[in-house]
Structure 1
């Protein structure tokens, strides 16, 4: 195991006096490199993204925060050793910690025993004491900012997120930080002090002890809402930890324990060898994590900077003409998306992928404007013992994407309709020609900031600010109608947010949350509403007393969705024409957190839905009676991810860990009539399914890859790289449209051939 990946063409050879020798990772602030100091010492150098570097306010705050961070000392922090806030691209250097990110450790090996969680908490509390001691607040304590070493944890990036939060790029309402770890006061715009870090520490301990966050998973706004308004789910926490975690997660900052109290309370831990409160050995860690950390520590560091040139293990492919041959690492990689783009994407239905600081090789395969294939053979297997077995046909498949065009007009969540690719970017709706990539129209009304879907020649968009829903003509980009939120707002309430908007069969269906008057005992109420796509006219509204799920689907004149009530999660069916309830199915029971419905599809009289507790349900679509349930054998709680697909008697779906920055995932094939698992294929990041092609299931992951797994076995999937991050792909037949990680929308033709 190694903690770095090779350099790529375009990476710097030096930053200040530091010689760059490898990549450690990337995030919203910048790219992190492994470097050697002039004296040869291993160092981690973070180079700020260009978008932030152009902001004068950021530079000033960055300089102040770096100066303060250099004063932080302590055994559980990675000290800042050098910085240049005035460089063309500001940078800072910290001591290199050959450690495993906490999120990656939990994702790989599951929940920790109590003694290890206590030891982790004691070390992190001591790190916070050092940070708070110089009047600094971390503000972004999360699993990816904790590195695990044999002699204790290390906190990184302290204070730097404050600089990012002060830039003009985040003044439009974006919240800097990670859902589930941000304290309530930060989410509602109040001042954040040391108690905010205590809240994050409590959430982090709960995650480590149970494998899931105390406020569940799902879209960022859903998690943030639960942080502000709902009690944490502490089910599964050992008795010895439940009380201290609950106090750390108090809504009122004044009700949380002080850091010295936590050091005293958590410091009374005992290692696996019986030693008390000492990090001199790796016995504070779970045994499987010790093995990974030890391997990282033993891995040799690169001696020379090596750019990502041709490698023997990469296939050569013919490009442009029969005589033109190139390898997959020629050419400079494209620049990453803007910082503002990353912030917005983080607020979408699923998290933006973050590159891991340890583990797999990440290579952007772009050759002279052509996206090149990289086939590989792999094994699957974590699904109830139903391990897939490869066949010569499956192993021989090679996947390639041959680029057709790229466009300066980039869009997210692209949808292809009537020869156009439609989506939004930074609150602006856009359409490009699907055949050429040329811009067709731009709709820049700021009150239509979120693209929701297309139906019957009308593009539907909603506003996160005031709830307005608009219909825009697909052919011209002109407004057809506009409906304010008050048109469907339940009497006596005010509009709060749209949890989900879908367009189907000439109707816009919305799951909405509304604020109740301040004197009410409950904080909010919900409703499902239907609007006519052609006119925007309200058809019906059905109030829902309890919490609606984000997932929503319409098929055969029925609206399907989930409701989380006091005694568990219910799945309901409503008449699409009237909103009348047809039936109600009790999906799961829990006094605390019963999960939420996260993905729905309907096929041949059966509705299939997955939830955030890893369970896939099959229910008779006419009567609402249970047919079967399937729960994958996974190490951590994973939620089912849209879309689910049913083809030839098989349900295909993806699951992923929504609580981890390094969330891995799985693709599953389940018999549609019985729920019997057919195969499971593990993926390096959360998967998103796109359809079937030539006997293979196509899916992409947030690591930037497109995969094709054999529909019969799931074994030996071929892959090709589309992007340096989440490709946000849309597949129609053998065409794929995606974000190439360079701020451009790309279109390519997919081919699957025998190797």
Structure 2
């Protein structure tokens, strides 16, 4: 097991006195490298992104937080060993912890036993005690910021998230942090103190004990709404653990326990070896996690950087496949999920790292360099060495190549392709449409209040206002407004509009899933409704209130509207008459509240629904009766959209959640029986993009496009699109993606035998 990723072209050879030897990850503040100190010590060096380094206010806060971080000392923190806040690219170095993140551990091995959760909470509480003693509030404690070592957990990135405040990242008033772990007071803009970190600690214990968030998954706004207004789901925790986690998750920060109290209360745990409250030998961890962590401890530190040279292939790792077995696709860790929209949650800005040269070239992935083979994928063996692929003698080695057609001047987020145009949200806060043939801007919609793209269909682009709830219909051809309707058109009596969960355009109708607020003090705290608006005028056709909850998955096929809802007694998948809103049938997916439907696909007389608890359900589309249910033998959370069906095989991806970067999986299941065919692990959450020449295409947050045989999972191939999440859209053999340079790119995909 390797705790780092290979270096890529353009990575620095040295930062300050530290020699760079590998990649550890990346995030909103910067990129983290594995390095050797002058004395040979393994060190984690974090380099701040260029756009932050250019902000004087950020540098001021960064200097202040580096000074505070120097004061943090404790056995459960990764101590700061060096920093240069005045460098051209500011950086800091901490002791390297060769451990698995909590998020990766839970994703791979599932929920933890009570003793391990108590040990985790004990170590984290002691870490917070040290951090708070230094006058620092973490404010972004989450699974990816907790590393697991044999002698206890380590909290990383303490104080660094605070350094981002009052800079361009928060200039719009958005909240920085991870939904589900941010305390209610932070979400509503109030002052955050040490009690906010206690809230995050409680959420982490629930996550470790159950494998899921205390406030469910789904859209970031939905999670945050539940954090502020609803009680956490503690049903999967034993009594005493549920009590301490519940007190940590109190809405009122004054009602949460103080950190010293938690240190004393949680310190009374017992390891697998019988030692009480003593970390050592990884006995505090669940055995499968302990095995992974101990393997990482023996991972050798690589020599020096030297493989990242111009003209070299980017590092790739090919999977080894067997039927119903698993394989790992390599690549550097992905950045945080881009599930949030501009104006709602911070979109991570990216440094310009691509350089264009001439026309019809293969894109480079670092500024100023052209790598002629950067988009030419390979199917190397594990680690990219000489081991070769173990896909078996029947597997045919494939070459996946993307050749650029054009770069656009626009940078479109979550692009949608329709009617010869690519439509998306630009960094300027406006909607843009780009011609698919030339890359030229076809139109720009100049209303900044309707910058959130909700759906495209029937020649109509539907956008919403983040603040007012207004829905606007825009002509796909001209970019001119067709109609504008206020949220009051579909708001139920006695409620006020809160947010749109999902909007779908089909068959002359705009279907809307929305959340509404009830008067203060009401129980429950909100109400939901699914509504239908006329696509030509925006007028309301019908609305159907839902008391407890709606998922954001929504699909319309052949006059039926399919979606998910939950009530007190369980979670459901439903079909409504698309013309009237009348219920055709309702199918129970879980006996638990909040297990929402996250992905839907209709094929023939069968509708497939994936849920947030890992279940994939095949349901008769006419009667709503169960055909089969498949639950994969992996602990990677919810099913992700889209699902694909081809030649009797249903394909889908699973991932941990929307707020924490984590590994995922791609699954192939027999559509008729639910029998698993193959599973492939991915280093970041996968997004299925389509089918090409019998292979399924999927991208990951690590910036890579992959292809594997849709029926066997064999013949792997991959190619780099971007240094980060490519935000790709594939139509046929064309891919439209963010190349990491602030521009939308179009490329033609070819998949050939090597």
TM, length-normalised to structure 2: 0.89
Distance 1:687 1:165 in 2: 31
Q: CA deviation at 1:313?
A: 9.9
Distance 2:581 2:298 in 1: 62
Distance 2:372 2:474 in 1: 33
Encode CA deviations 1:559-618: one digit per residue, 9 max, x unaligned: 11111101011222222222222222233222xx35001111222122221111111222
Q: Which moved more, 1:605-614 or 1:257-266?
A: 605-614
**Aligned residue among 488, 491, 494 for 2:493:** 491
Distance 2:86 2:165 in 1: 19
Q: CA deviation at 1:346?
A: 11
CA contact (8 A) 2:124 2:153 kept: yes
Distance 2:337 2:235 in 1: 36
1:210-249 to 2 correspondences below 5 Å: 210-249=210-249
| 1:41–1:668 distance in 2 versus 1, CA, 3 Å | closer
Match of 1:376 in 2: 379
Q: CA deviation at 1:258?
A: 1.0
Distance 1:637 1:34 in 2: 27
Q: Which moved more, 1:673-682 or 1:542-551?
A: 673-682
Distance 2:86 2:313 in 1: 41
Match of 1:81 in 2: 81
CA contact (8 A) 1:6 1:306 kept: no
| 1:341–1:572 distance in 2 versus 1, CA, 3 Å | closer
> Helix, strand or coil: the match of 2:652?
strand
Q: CA deviation at 1:506?
A: 1.9
| 1:660–1:439 distance in 2 versus 1, CA, 3 Å | closer
Indicate whether 1:464 and 2:466 are aligned: yes
Match of 1:452 in 2: 454
Match of 1:693 in 2: 692
Encode CA deviations 1:42-84: one digit per residue, 9 max, x unaligned: 3322111112222232222222222111111111112223323
Distance 1:567 1:352 in 2: 42
> Helix, strand or coil: the match of 1:373?
coil
1:80-229 to 2 correspondences below 5 Å: 80-229=80-229
Distance 1:566 1:497 in 2: 22
> Helix, strand or coil: the match of 1:226?
helix
CA contact (8 A) 2:219 2:501 kept: no
Indicate whether 1:306 and 2:309 are aligned: no
| 1:118–1:406 distance in 2 versus 1, CA, 3 Å | same
> Helix, strand or coil: the match of 1:480?
strand
Match of 1:709 in 2: 708
| 1:267–1:92 distance in 2 versus 1, CA, 3 Å | same
CA contact (8 A) 1:219 1:351 kept: no
1:485-634 to 2 correspondences below 5 Å: 485-590=487-592, 593-634=593-634
Distance 2:313 2:575 in 1: 56
Q: CA deviation at 1:393?
A: 5.5
Distance 2:224 2:404 in 1: 39
Measured on the aligned residues, the alpha-carbon RMSD in Å equals 2.9
CA contact (8 A) 1:141 1:197 kept: yes
> Helix, strand or coil: the match of 1:141?
coil
1:275-354 to 2 correspondences below 5 Å: 275-309=275-309, 344=341
Distance 2:572 2:142 in 1: 32
Indicate whether 1:641 and 2:640 are aligned: yes
Distance 1:742 1:254 in 2: 45
Q: Which moved more, 1:681-690 or 1:390-399?
A: 390-399
Match of 2:21 in 1: 21
Q: CA deviation at 1:371?
A: 4.5
Q: Which moved more, 1:505-514 or 1:366-375?
A: 366-375
Match of 1:356 in 2: none
CA contact (8 A) 1:140 1:182 kept: yes
Distance 1:60 1:515 in 2: 40
Distance 1:89 1:350 in 2: 21
Encode CA deviations 1:380-419: one digit per residue, 9 max, x unaligned: xxxxxxxxx9565643332222222222312122121222
TM, length-normalised to structure 1: 0.88
Match of 2:649 in 1: 650
Q: Which moved more, 1:422-431 or 1:164-173?
A: 164-173
Match of 1:43 in 2: 43
Q: CA deviation at 1:631?
A: 1.9
Q: Which moved more, 1:497-506 or 1:106-115?
A: 106-115
Distance 2:6 2:681 in 1: 24
CA contact (8 A) 2:365 2:371 kept: no
| 1:313–1:524 distance in 2 versus 1, CA, 3 Å | closer
| 1:675–1:158 distance in 2 versus 1, CA, 3 Å | same
Which ranges in structure 2 are unaligned for 5 or more consecutive residues?
317-333, 351-363, 383-389
Indicate whether 1:400 and 2:401 are aligned: yes
> Helix, strand or coil: the match of 1:103?
helix
Distance 1:605 1:346 in 2: 40
Distance 2:140 2:201 in 1: 10
| 1:168–1:725 distance in 2 versus 1, CA, 3 Å | closer
Match of 1:734 in 2: 733
> Helix, strand or coil: the match of 1:395?
coil
| 1:87–1:278 distance in 2 versus 1, CA, 3 Å | same
CA contact (8 A) 1:28 1:342 kept: no
| 1:350–1:285 distance in 2 versus 1, CA, 3 Å | farther
Encode CA deviations 1:222-269: one digit per residue, 9 max, x unaligned: 221221222222233234422211211122212211111111111112
| 1:274–1:586 distance in 2 versus 1, CA, 3 Å | closer
CA contact (8 A) 2:452 2:466 kept: yes
CA contact (8 A) 2:206 2:214 kept: yes
Distance 1:659 1:542 in 2: 27
CA contact (8 A) 2:19 2:36 kept: yes
CA contact (8 A) 1:394 1:710 kept: no
CA contact (8 A) 1:212 1:637 kept: no
CA contact (8 A) 1:352 1:702 kept: no
Match of 1:422 in 2: 423
Q: CA deviation at 1:554?
A: 0.7
> Helix, strand or coil: the match of 1:673?
coil
Encode CA deviations 1:31-51: one digit per residue, 9 max, x unaligned: 112233444433322111112
Distance 2:338 2:270 in 1: 45
Encode CA deviations 1:64-113: one digit per residue, 9 max, x unaligned: 22211111111111222332323322222222223322222222333333
Q: CA deviation at 1:26?
A: 0.9
Q: Which moved more, 1:698-707 or 1:193-202?
A: 698-707
Q: CA deviation at 1:125?
A: 0.8
Distance 2:42 2:315 in 1: 29
Distance 1:509 1:349 in 2: 27
Distance 1:351 1:179 in 2: 15
Distance 1:198 1:314 in 2: 40
Q: How many residues align?
A: 714
Match of 2:439 in 1: 437
CA contact (8 A) 1:532 1:538 kept: yes
| 1:392–1:140 distance in 2 versus 1, CA, 3 Å | same
| 1:167–1:713 distance in 2 versus 1, CA, 3 Å | same
| 1:301–1:346 distance in 2 versus 1, CA, 3 Å | farther
CA contact (8 A) 1:562 1:572 kept: yes
Match of 1:383 in 2: none
